[in-house]
């Protein structure tokens, strides 16, 4: 990570704790993080050691006034950490909601205000619905239909010659 990236982290709107996590995630030692952020070493240590005590993969976030539009929105929120290799572990509740398990594949779709995750079976359901909106039978073998049309076209051309 170059000095420009470090400056972006230090000057960002992230919380101090998230800045500490970001810098630690790219390999900065605790003393250097404390110096960069103008914080005491103990503060940096407390944040990083405190993260080790929390459940792996994420935890429910407590509601704070003005943060969530309604208490119902917040009950379904999780704070997830990005690990050094870019890995984000999903808590068991989210895996159950997606109906996926170890070895499963999920789809991530960028949205205007975040990312939407869904299972491959949900993706197939969305694809089928799109075909139906276009008036295409999703169960129809389009490749076989195309081959049949081409063969019929070749047969017509042979008759015309």
Assess whether 63 and 49 both reside in one domain: no
Assess whether 66 and 129 both reside in one domain: no
**Count of structural domains, the chain:** 3
CA distances from 118 to 68, 103, 104 (A): 23, 15, 11
User: What is the domain extent for residue 15?
Assistant: 3-53
Assess whether 94 and 136 both reside in one domain: yes
The per-residue pLDDT for 122 is: 87
The per-residue pLDDT for 150 is: 94
Assess whether 149 and 101 both reside in one domain: yes
Ranges of the chain whose pLDDT falls below 70: 1-2, 54-76, 138
**Whole-structure pTM over 0.75, yes or no?**
no
Which residue, 27, 21, 63, is CA-closest to 46? 21
Assess whether 159 and 99 both reside in one domain: yes
Assess whether 98 and 140 both reside in one domain: yes
- 10 Å CB burial of residue 57 (0-12, 13-18, 19+) is middle
Contact predicate 63/71, CB 8 Å: yes
Assess whether 101 and 157 both reside in one domain: yes
Assess whether 15 and 30 both reside in one domain: yes
């Amino acid at each position: 990570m170059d000095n420009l990236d470090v400056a972006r982290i230090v000057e960002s709107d992230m919380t101090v704790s998230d800045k500490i996590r970001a810098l630690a995630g790219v390999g900065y030692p605790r003393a250097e993080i404390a110096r960069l952020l103008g914080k005491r070493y103990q503060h940096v240590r407390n944040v990083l050691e405190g993260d080790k005590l929390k459940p792996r993969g994420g935890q429910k976030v407590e509601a704070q006034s003005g943060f969530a539009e309604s208490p119902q929105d917040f009950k379904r929120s999780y704070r997830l950490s990005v690990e050094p290799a870019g890995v984000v572990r999903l808590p068991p509740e989210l895996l159950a909601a997606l109906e996926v398990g170890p070895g499963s594949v999920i789809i991530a779709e960028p949205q205007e205000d975040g990312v939407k995750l869904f299972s491959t079976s949900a993706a197939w359901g969305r694809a089928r619905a799109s075909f139906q909106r276009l008036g295409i039978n999703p169960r129809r073998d389009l490749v076989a239909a195309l081959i049949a049309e081409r063969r019929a076209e070749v047969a017509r051309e042979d008759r015309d010659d």
